[in-house]
């Protein structure tokens, strides 16, 4: 009787131990979600960093030279700075299209902006043939400075609209690939060391209980045979 109670108590303890165990579904759901959030955050930060760096590089090749041309003291330097700005526009492909998606106007047409930039370069070359002491030279130089100052080449915003969009279009594909990989990897159950130790202890306990059951059965059978 005591042995039977001990065996029943052992079965009840094993059942309680299984109920207190942490369920696997919590890890298999929240771990992939946490990984996805972390990856999306890192990719977003990387996208912002790329945008800032690219804007600085484009501004150095275009807008900075436009500003230098505006404050240049003579038409020779002005022409050279404007040519550097033109080369920067060509380098980054800011020579065509519109700096807008819906509201396309002549003032954000990059081909017309490039024509205005070329006209300013030609006019700076013509100024070099004028008499530097004449009133005409001074007035045309000031007029050209005003044109360059008002010339909005839309370099940074054009790249954000056209270049950055390409990165953003690739981003969902990258995120979808990572999500599918995480979901596929989450199919494989990963057990923590504590759980493995509990399972090993349960296995040993079951083997011990099974051995005691067999011993009890053996004593009961052979005991009855001895009485007979």
Residue-wise pLDDT for 190-201, tens only, equals: 555 666 677 778
Question: How many C-beta atoms lie closer than 10 Å to residue 177's C-beta?
Answer: 10
Label residue 50 by pLDDT band (50, 70, 90).
confident
Residue 228 has pLDDT above 60, yes or no: no
pLDDT-wise least confident of 2-11, 45-54, 155-164, 199-208: 2-11
- Who has greater pLDDT, 227 or 183? 183
Instruction: Take residue 182 and report the two structure tokens written for it.
Output: 């995480």
Label residue 223 by pLDDT band (50, 70, 90).
low
* Residues in Cβ contact with 88 at an 8 Å cutoff, skipping those fewer than 6 apart: 58, 60, 61, 62, 65, 155
Residue 123 has pLDDT above 90, yes or no: yes
Whether this prediction's pTM lies above 0.75 is answered by no
CA atoms of 89 and 95, how far apart (whole Å)? 6
Tell me, what's the pLDDT at 224? 55
Are 199 and 206 in contact, with CB atoms under 8 Å apart?
A: no
pLDDT > 70: what percent of the chain? Answer: 66
For residues 199-205, average pLDDT: 81
């Amino acid at each position: 009787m005591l042995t039977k109670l001990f065996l029943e108590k052992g079965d009840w303890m094993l059942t309680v131990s299984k109920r207190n165990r942490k369920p696997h579904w919590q890890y298999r759901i929240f771990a992939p979600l946490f990984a996805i959030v972390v990856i999306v955050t890192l990719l977003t930060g990387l996208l912002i960093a790329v945008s800032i760096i690219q804007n600085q590089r484009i501004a150095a090749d275009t807008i900075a030279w436009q500003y230098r041309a505006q404050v240049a003291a003579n038409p020779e330097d002005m022409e050279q700075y404007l040519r550097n700005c033109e080369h920067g526009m060509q380098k980054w492909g800011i020579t065509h299209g519109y700096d807008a998606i819906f509201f396309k106007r002549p003032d954000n047409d990059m081909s017309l902006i490039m024509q205005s930039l070329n006209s300013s370069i030609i006019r700076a070359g013509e100024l070099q043939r004028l008499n530097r002491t004449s009133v005409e030279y001074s007035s045309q130089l000031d007029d050209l400075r005003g044109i360059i100052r008002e010339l909005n080449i839309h370099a940074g915003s054009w790249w954000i609209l056209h270049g950055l969009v390409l990165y953003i279009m690739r981003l969902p594909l990258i995120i979808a690939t990572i999500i599918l990989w995480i979901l596929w990897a989450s199919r494989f159950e990963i057990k923590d060391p504590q759980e493995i130790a509990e399972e090993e202890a349960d296995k040993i306990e079951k083997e011990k209980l099974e051995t005691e059951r067999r011993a009890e059965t053996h004593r009961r059978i052979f005991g009855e045979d001895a009485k007979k």
